[in-house]
């Protein structure tokens, strides 16, 4: 009974809201963890939102809310967006998973798209990109270019997506430079410029001349620039302002084609819940321009790797590979299966330190 009253109120509100946005066919909402000004993760989602809106040329209205914490506030923000009349809502951070599902249960007619999670429902899809493919290219360049053989890695949270990135970068750095060492710093944040800068400085002081980041701001880039002779890679966005040094290349998340497709599905009435995990092949993951700071032969071999991944000829997790404890994981030529990749919670052999838990 309780839930029914709530639903009735909400439904009445939703009808009213539909009228408010009548001039557009569809309203798409976005929940952001940071601000579009972060120059990284949220920036790319926002760029893709704008591209999508431009693509539909007035037929689709977009609304967004920035700086939504991954706490009880997220559920409220998503609910308000649904009441405001959004037909499809993209929640663009891992921590919105349970709140997204909770709101989705109350609004069966609204479609939800949760980025980087794993829980689906009839009206909740999940989508993510195979960032680890880009990490392989980074590791390759980093392994070639490091002189101190120390590579620093600013990690955000110990979730499979981040661990995959560390493993992928390490495997490919080690392949071209057996002496390479990784030190991983856990920042426990997606976006905190001050913390990210501190982490970068600490890594550089410890001798790292390559800093990889899985956090969203450009603060590590700025710290590397200040230190000089340190290379970095743009994360989530090109971060081209820092090219050619310290930023020598980047992983760019291009969500626009996906957003356009999913909103089109809503317009056509063909939207279905699905699990999308695309990489370099569909363009969801792009490798930003490799700058002139990288030697020509390294650039050529890196581009060859991008091409091999694009065509499906090469998979970044190809055996022989052992787990950190020395136990066998993948045999010669074997590639990782989807389930292991999706739930990866171990380091590969050679990485020092533990996955926090």
Candidate residues 54, 58, 59, 71; the one interacting with another protein per rule CB under 8 A: 71
Candidate residues 65, 120, 183, 322; the one interacting with another protein per rule CB under 8 A: 65
Considering the rule CB under 8 A, would residue 121 count as an interface residue with another protein? no
Residue 57's region, left for phi above 0, alpha for psi from -120 to 50, else beta, is left
Minimum separation from the CB atom of position 262 to another protein (A):
20
Minimum separation from the CB atom of position 29 to another protein (A):
8
The residue range among 42-50, 58-66, 172-180, 319-327 that interacts with another protein, by the rule CB under 8 A, is 58-66
Considering the rule CB under 8 A, would residue 352 count as an interface residue with another protein? no
Closer CB to another protein, 308 or 342, in the complex = 342
Considering the rule CB under 8 A, would residue 275 count as an interface residue with another protein? no
Minimum separation from the CB atom of position 191 to another protein (A):
11
Candidate residues 20, 303, 304, 328; the one interacting with another protein per rule CB under 8 A: 20
Closer CB to another protein, 103 or 231, in the complex = 103
Q: Which long-range contacts (CB under 8 A, 24 or more apart) does 53-58 make?
A: 53/28, 55/256, 55/260, 56/26, 56/260, 56/263, 58/24
Q: What is the DSSP letter of 338?
A: H
The residue range among 8-16, 143-151, 226-234, 302-310 that interacts with another protein, by the rule CB under 8 A, is 8-16
Q: Where do runs of H (alpha helix) occur along 40-159?
A: 41-56, 72-83, 97-106, 131-145
CB 285 within 8 A of CB 278: yes
Q: How many alpha carbons lie under 13 Å from residue 3 in its C-beta half-sphere?
A: 5
Closer CB to another protein, 22 or 72, in the complex = 72
CB 200 within 8 A of CB 213: yes
Q: Is 15 exposed, middle or buried (0-12, 13-18, 19+ CB in 10 A)?
A: exposed
Candidate residues 108, 175, 188, 207; the one interacting with another protein per rule CB under 8 A: 188
Report CA-CA distances (Å) from 157 to 47, 78, 233, 253, 307: 25, 23, 19, 19, 30
CA 123 to CA 107: how far, in whole Å? 9
Closer CB to another protein, 226 or 354, in the complex = 354
**Count of beta carbons in the 10 Å neighbourhood of residue 339:** 8
Considering the rule CB under 8 A, would residue 226 count as an interface residue with another protein? no
Candidate residues 76, 122, 292, 304; the one interacting with another protein per rule CB under 8 A: 76
- Which of these, 45, 25, 22, 24, lies nearest to 33 by C-alpha position? 45
Considering the rule CB under 8 A, would residue 5 count as an interface residue with another protein? yes
Residue ranges binding another protein (CB under 8 A): 1-3, 5-6, 9-10, 12-13, 16-17, 20, 29, 35, 63-67, 69-73, 75-77, 79-81, 83-84, 94-95, 98, 102, 118, 157-160, 186, 188, 342-345, 356-357
């Amino acid at each position: 009974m309780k839930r029914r009253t709530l639903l009735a109120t909400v439904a009445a509100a939703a009808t009213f809201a539909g009228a408010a946005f009548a001039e557009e066919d569809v309203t798409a909402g976005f929940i952001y963890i940071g601000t579009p000004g972060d120059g990284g993760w949220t920036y790319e989602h926002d760029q893709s939102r704008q591209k999508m809106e431009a693509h539909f040329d007035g037929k689709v209205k977009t609304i967004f809310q920035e700086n939504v914490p991954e706490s009880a506030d997220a559920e409220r923000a998503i609910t308000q967006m649904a009441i405001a009349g959004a037909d499809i809502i993209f929640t663009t951070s891992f921590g919105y998973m349970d709140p997204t599902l909770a709101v989705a249960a109350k609004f069966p007619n609204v479609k939800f798209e949760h980025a980087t999670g794993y829980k689906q429902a009839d009206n909740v899809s999940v989508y993510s990109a195979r960032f680890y493919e880009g990490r392989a290219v980074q590791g390759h360049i980093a392994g070639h270019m490091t002189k101190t053989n120390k590579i620093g890695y600013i990690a955000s949270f110990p979730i499979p997506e981040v661990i995959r990135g560390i493993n992928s970068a390490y495997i490919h750095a080690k392949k071209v430079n057996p002496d390479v060492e990784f030190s991983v710093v856990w920042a426990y944040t997606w976006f905190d410029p001050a913390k990210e800068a501190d982490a970068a400085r600490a890594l550089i002081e410890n001798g790292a001349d390559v800093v990889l980041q899985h956090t969203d701001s450009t603060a590590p880039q700025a710290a590397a620039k200040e230190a000089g002779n340190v290379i970095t890679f743009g994360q989530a966005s090109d971060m081209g302002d820092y090219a050619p040094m310290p930023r020598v290349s980047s992983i760019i998340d291009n969500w626009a084609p996906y957003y356009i497709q999913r909103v089109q599905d809503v317009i056509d009435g063909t939207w279905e819940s699905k699990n999308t995990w695309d990489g370099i092949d569909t363009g969801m993951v792009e490798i930003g321009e490799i700058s002139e700071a990288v030697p020509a032969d390294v650039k050529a071999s890196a581009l060859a790797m991008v091409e091999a991944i694009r065509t499906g000829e090469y998979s970044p997790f190809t055996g022989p590979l052992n787990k950190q404890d020395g136990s066998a994981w993948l045999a010669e030529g074997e590639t990782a299966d989807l389930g292991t990749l999706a739930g990866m919670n171990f380091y590969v052999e050679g990485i020092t330190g533990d996955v926090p838990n």
